[in-house]
Amino acid sequence: MAHFLRKLHSLLSLIVFFFLFLFLAPPFASRVASLSTLSISETSNQTLVCALIKPPGRRPFLNCTSFPAGIRIPVNPNASFAGVVGGDGFLCGLRGGSLSPTSVLGCWRFSAANGTNVRYKRIYKGPPVTELDSGDAHVCSLANGTSRLECWQWPGWDRTRVPDDWSSVAVGGDYACGLMGTGKIACFGDNARVVHNWPNGSFRAVAAGSGYACAISWDNTNSLECWGDGAAKIEPPQGDFVSVALGENRSCALGSNSRVKCWGQSNFSLPEHLTDAYFVAIKAKRRVFCGVLASNYSLCCWGNEHFDSMPGSMVFDNVLPGPCQSQCPCGPLPGYGILCEQGYVCLPCKASAPVVHPPSPGPAPPPVRSRGLDGKLVVFLVVGCVGSASLLSLFGFLLFRYCKGRVCRVHDSGRIEETSSPDQTRPPPPQPRPLEKRLSHLVSMDSHLEEFPLQVLARVTNGFAQEFKIGTGSFGSVYRATLDDGREVAIKRAETSTAASPLHLGGGGGPSARRQTEDIDRAFLNELESLSRLNHKNLVKLCGFCEDGNELILVYEYMHNGSLHDHLHRIPESPLDSWAARLRVALDAARGIEYLHVYATPPVIHRDIKSSNILLNKSWTAKVSDFGLSLMCPEDDNSHLSLHAAGTIGYVDPEYYRLQHLTSKSDVYSFGVVLLELLSGYKAIHNNETGVPRNVVDFVIPYILQDEIHRVLDRKVLPPNPFEIEAVRYAGYLAADCVSLEGKDRPSITEIVYSLERALAACSARPLLSRSSTESSTS
Ligand SMILES: *[C@@H]1O[C@H](CO)[C@@H](O)[C@H](O)[C@H]1NC(C)=O
Ligand SMILES: *[C@@H]1O[C@H](CO)[C@@H](O)[C@H](O)[C@H]1NC(C)=O
Ligand SMILES: *[C@@H]1O[C@H](CO)[C@@H](O)[C@H](O)[C@H]1NC(C)=O
Ligand SMILES: *[C@@H]1O[C@H](CO)[C@@H](O)[C@H](O)[C@H]1NC(C)=O
Ligand SMILES: *[C@@H]1O[C@H](CO)[C@@H](O)[C@H](O)[C@H]1NC(C)=O
Ligand SMILES: *[C@@H]1O[C@H](CO)[C@@H](O)[C@H](O)[C@H]1NC(C)=O
Ligand SMILES: *[C@@H]1O[C@H](CO)[C@@H](O)[C@H](O)[C@H]1NC(C)=O
């Protein structure tokens, strides 16, 4: 079984690396980001228009106004945005687009009944978003340089069921379409007429309306092609277009001559007073259309009675006509110098202009491929978890048999562990157990797992004397000692108990007892085998063991600087009292866990991640300890013990607690709690000002979600400087994701490692957009 799994793993890793290789080379890296700087949101009786405004000599800011008045979005006037999208009853703002190392996407929800009752929620924090669009309800994005689509506010959205080669995205009423890397179209969602009828060919842009979609063809004509509900009834105009905005049964398109043409139900057309105007950008939502005038970048809207009754009056002046980009393949817009502090607003690419990406001559990809990179990773992880789950159930079964009828010990961290103990009344084993044979085989096979003679361990600890004892761990007492060869080690000696030794059951020599003994031996051996295989610089190394009659002793490398828990909660002045040092500890620990989840064969779920299990060596490298031992827990559904079997109060994944369903995401939850501890300095469970016990998750997460993490940061650490605050916020959001109630909403440990790497980099390096990032970060 294990062998088979290992084979499967190497196969899957190969597949994963193959796909990674494929996707790390994006087909059209030079593509310009398409973020909108305009948004239109609707409620049943109001329209909210928002735009990024760039007055001369000031930084761009987001302004919103509703028709009729009433909706008030509480936007910080100092916050800088890269893009904005809206839909029915919501508005989302993107902070930090393609020019900044991270993006934050937050949404405000409002209702028709009470426009001042606006709720804010951050829905994304991660790699820079370069493509963003929203429909009536859904929001989708693409991160910089990736072809992976991410959607929100879309129940049932499943990334593994869409293609993974996106280069742009357009979200409609209940569907989304996009261009693949090759310029082909793909759509998905509930609108059957759209998602089953998209045209073949290569396209340069695609737009989605309430019921139908249009695309601009790649060839020299730049002509429009539309499909979906009612699209056949109303032919799009002929012409040469650069962009198109679709509402509900009515549409407008921006020509390469900067003129706008509108068409649709009831002979919809551009209002008279605008027919001579030149535009640089247009946007639509249901009945309402807005455009930015080329002459002075003022925003005008049309399409419903409010706007049509105010011809000539502009909604906003000084609108940023497009997102700021670091480079423009088809040249910047005239006057760009005053628009972006760094970078440019780009001219749309036309057929005659330099080509962004040529259509691929190769065969088109099938419209909906089975699974992408992510799907593979999911499979990989699932197989991994199945692997360890089967291992777990094996141990569980064996130990359940052993535990039946005797008392299992629940140790201080809440885990159940087996201990061996001297037992004077126990008769000697009836015959030599195969354990010894396999042990010696194991030792001879494995170079870094050593079997220590009991005498040696007893000698270096002066007979396990009190003065060598450094603590009482989950396993029993822990001693510090220096071996004869100079190695400093921590020696964990199983606690003496009055129960019989677990390795030798029942005292009887009967055949069934013997078989049980062998089972337990095998479990112990498997445990050691899997532990000895785990070798990573962020895992505390198991040097060896001692199994001598009644003694069961494990020997680990010694960690000079103790546990993270002590540095956070006990030691008054610790070298870990800087944000960079704390993030580095978090990253180290995450890498250790990543090794357990992803690279160990079979994968290991730690089940007891907590700050006291993260240890620091001489050079302050953090290492995860106590891994793997949790595999030895019995899984007994109806016993009280099983409730505590998976970790420590305050760190236990509530989903696991509730469903008794173990996945690697349970470790992610516990890691999130550790991250909150690192940021806030509060223990997982602590007393509030009035002495009432409080959970760090319940207390800190609301502040993080409101972008107010600075109010709960650990006061032992100096307040973060402008570079650090970005990193600290980023880590806060990561922690919030890690402690999501449902495992499926939590990031994988690999994503966590990646995020922490970014956070740490932001902490120590000046961000790309130094000025605006610094200013926005203090807002
Ligand atoms: C936002 O726009 C409204 C309407 O155009 C305007 O009255 C208001 O002054 C603007 N806000 C700022 C901060 O410029
Ligand atoms: C919009 O409609 C809601 C009820 O649907 C009403 O309470 C509210 O006052 C209306 N708002 C305006 C600005 O008319
Ligand atoms: C709207 O919501 C705000 C904040 O929740 C509340 O103070 C106000 O009374 C509400 N107004 C109406 C008309 O319900
Ligand atoms: C975005 O991706 C491009 C190409 O992959 C890369 O050169 C650029 O540095 C990325 N920008 C950011 C902010 O990550
Ligand atoms: C758009 O057309 C569809 C069917 O063609 C119709 O059901 C819907 O009411 C129309 N929407 C508007 C705003 O007229
Ligand atoms: C911008 O141009 C439009 C159309 O020419 C005009 O109506 C508007 O007043 C101008 N806005 C400013 C601020 O000059
Ligand atoms: C915006 O920035 C100004 C000057 O930097 C500051 O005085 C003001 O308090 C800030 N506003 C908010 C809401 O943070």
**What tens digit of pLDDT does each residue of 474-505 get?**
567 889 999 888 889 998 887 644 333 333 32
Least confident of 189-193, 510-514, 772-776: 772-776
Ligand nearest to the CA of 54: 1
* Amino acid identity, position 78: N
Helix axes 696-705, 722-738, angle to 10 degrees: 120
For residues 234 and 218, is the Cβ–Cβ distance under 8 A?
A: no
Pairing mode, strands 129-134 and 469-472: unpaired
- Atom 9 of ligand 2: nearest residue by CA position: 113
For residue 223, report the distance from its CA to the centre of ligand 5, in Å: 25
Mean pLDDT of 305-314: 83
Centre of ligand 3 to C-alpha 118, Å, is: 10
Q: What is the pLDDT of residue 696?
A: 94
321 CA from centroid of ligand 6 (Å): 15
Active site residues: 608
- 11-15, 299-303, 461-465, 580-584: least confident range: 11-15
Question: What are the tokens at 198?
Answer: 């998209």
Q: What are phi and psi of 111, to 5 degrees?
A: -125, 160
Report the atom number in ligand 2 closest to the C-alpha of 45: 1
Give residue 389's identity as a one-letter amino acid code: A
Which has more confidence, 774 or 435? 435
Q: What average pLDDT does the segment 416-431 reach?
A: 33
With vertex at residue 48, the alpha carbon angle to CA 43 and CA 51, rounded to the nearest 5 degrees, is 150
Distance 457 CA to ligand 4 centre (A): 55
In this structure, the residue with its CA closest to atom 11 of ligand 3 is: 114
Going by alpha carbons, the residue nearest to atom 13 of ligand 5 is 248
pLDDT at residue 521 in the model: 57
Contact 516, 432 (CB under 8 A): no
**Residues 154/169, Cβ–Cβ less than 8 Å:** no
Give the distance, in angstroms, between the CA of residue 617 and the centroid of all CA atoms in the same chain: 28
Residue nearest to atom 1 of ligand 1 (CA): 63
Binding site membership of 65 for ligand 1 (Cβ less than 6 Å):
yes
pLDDT at 576: 92
pLDDT at 370 over 90: no
What pLDDT, on a 0 to 100 scale, did the predictor assign at position 284? 95
Q: How far apart are CA 535 and CA 537, in angstroms?
A: 7
Bond before 603 cis per omega within 30 degrees: no
Confidence of residue 13 (pLDDT cuts 50, 70, 90): very low
Q: Which residues of 338-376 are buried (b: 16+ CB within 10 A; e: fewer)?
A: ebbeebbbbbbbebeeeeebebbeeeeeebeeebbbbbb
Site residues for ligand 2, CB cut-off 6 Å: 44-46, 68, 70, 112-113
CB within 8 Å of 130: residues ≥ 6 apart = 33, 34, 35, 97, 98, 142, 143, 144, 145
- The residue with greater pLDDT, 53 or 33, is 53
Residue owning the nearest CA to atom 6 of ligand 6: 312
Pairwise CA distance, residues 434 & 442, whole Å: 12
For residue 114, the ligand 3 atom closest to its alpha carbon is: 1
Say which DSSP state 263 is in. E
Q: State which of 42, 136, 234, 265 you would mutate to test the pocket of ligand 5, scoring each by most atoms of that ligand within 8 A of its C-beta.
A: 265
The whole-angstrom separation of Cα 481 and Cα 763 is 38
Is the per-residue pLDDT at 312 higher than 60? yes
pTM listed for this prediction: 0.53
Residue 488 bridge partners (DSSP): 482
Is 492 labeled as ligand-binding?
A: yes
Q: Which residue has the higher pLDDT, 473 or 769?
A: 473
Determine contact, residues 278/284, Cβ cutoff 8 Å: no
CB count in 10 Å sphere of residue 386: 14
Give the pLDDT of residue 80. 86
- Sign of the C-alpha dihedral, residues 30, 260, 302, 269? negative
Q: Left, alpha or beta for 462 (phi > 0: left; psi -120 to 50: alpha)?
A: left
Residue 426's pLDDT band, with cuts at 50, 70 and 90, is very low
Of 96-100, 401-405, 472-476, 753-757, the range with the highest mean pLDDT is 753-757
> What pLDDT sits at residue 530?
65
Which residue type, as a one-letter code, is found at position 574? S
Q: Which of 91, 77, 75, 4 is nearest to 40 (CA)?
A: 91
In this predicted structure, what is the pLDDT of residue 533? 75
Pocket perturbation via mutation, ligand 3, pick of 109, 114, 119 by most ligand atoms within 8 A of CB: 114
Instruction: Say how far apart CA 687 and CA 740 lie, in whole Å.
Output: 23
Q: Hey, CA dihedral for 228, 230, 233, 239, is it positive or negative?
A: negative
Q: What is the pLDDT of residue 187?
A: 92
Q: Which tokens sit at 705?
A: 């979600």
H-assigned helices in 357-505:
373-403, 434-445, 454-460
Whether ligand 6 lies within 6 angstroms of the CB of 296 is answered as: yes
Q: Please give the Cα distance from 380 to 160 (Å, whole number).
A: 13
pLDDT of residue 376: 29
